[in-house]
Amino acid sequence: MRLPQGIPVTEIAALINAEVIGHADTIVTGINEIHMVEKGDLTFVDHPKYYDKALHSHASVVLINTKDHPSRGKTLLYLEDPFSGYVSLVKKFRPFIPATAMVSDTAEIGEGTIIQPGAFIGNHVKIGSDCIIHSHVSINDHCIIGDRVIINSNAVIGGDAFYFKRRPSGFDKMVSCGRVVIGNDVEIGAGTTIDRGVSGDTCIGDGSKLDNLIQIGHDTIIGKHCLIASQAGIAGVTVIQDHVTIWGQVGIQKDLVIESGAEILAKSGVPKSLKGNTTYFGIPVREAREKMKEIALLKQLPGILAEITEKL
């Protein structure tokens, strides 16, 4: 999330009662979790396993719960509970603003776009030209929709990321401040849900077509001209490159890459990144021809066991 203007790190520290270690003249220009950080950003880390990742990232400021780890030239903000401090900053700089109308006065809607009765368009949403937004669609705050986009009934664009920190008392919610950005000539099926980024963007590329009842997780990037069938589930921080086809009820693990031209057949489970221009099938997924051979061999197993038994 970009801040409207740069803010001195000392001012940020005062907001959350953190201690500045290092360059006190640093200016913070954005707030992002670790997957999306850029120069000028503040990020947080609260587990030793990820200290090095945060301190070697592009972030300029790291909110952290140790003073003993090398800073790697970063400005540090020391706080015993960095997660809570980070969430406080998100709430400060992108607070939830209740809606006062079905279509917000701050929404920008392009020429020729049709908003059907019962659709909800949130604050600071931008919708391009010649779109059709069907009834009972929800497009939440700050989302961006391109030209000639069709969004079918009961789709939710920009729901909160599914991101929680486990505590002894339960789960603390990571408050989302990102967006959904949808390109041109995209179609979104009925009942499909696309979560906004935790702090960055969930993106759907030009010309991609999504069927009904699909779930797209936070900060996922879907490329151009992809085809995704009903009931597919794609976890957060996944990159799906251009011209990928994903058939019904495919489940894709978080934080991996599906390269261009890949095809994943129905009911497959994807636990790791996949090379492009290949067809895959199975749980866990394998190259489809090899998986089909394996299934054919398994079908022969009862007969083979019967023959062996007869010979004993």
Measured CA angle at 145 (ends 141, 150), to 5 deg: 120
Choosing from 23, 218, 225, 243, the catalytic residue is: 218
Nearest by Cα to 212 from 234, 184, 235, 191: 191
| 56 noted as active-site residue | no
Strands lying side by side in the sheet with 2-8: 2-8, 27-31, 41-45, 61-64, 75-78, 19-21
Q: How far apart are CA 204 and CA 225, in angstroms?
A: 9
For residue 81, CA distances in Å to 87, 149, 167, 174, 222 come to 10, 42, 12, 13, 34
Longest dimension (CA), the chain: 84
For residue 311, CA distances in Å to 80, 223, 307 come to 70, 57, 6
Nearest by Cα to 74 from 53, 50, 47, 55: 55
The label of the residue with tokens 């007969």 reads 303
Active site residues: 218
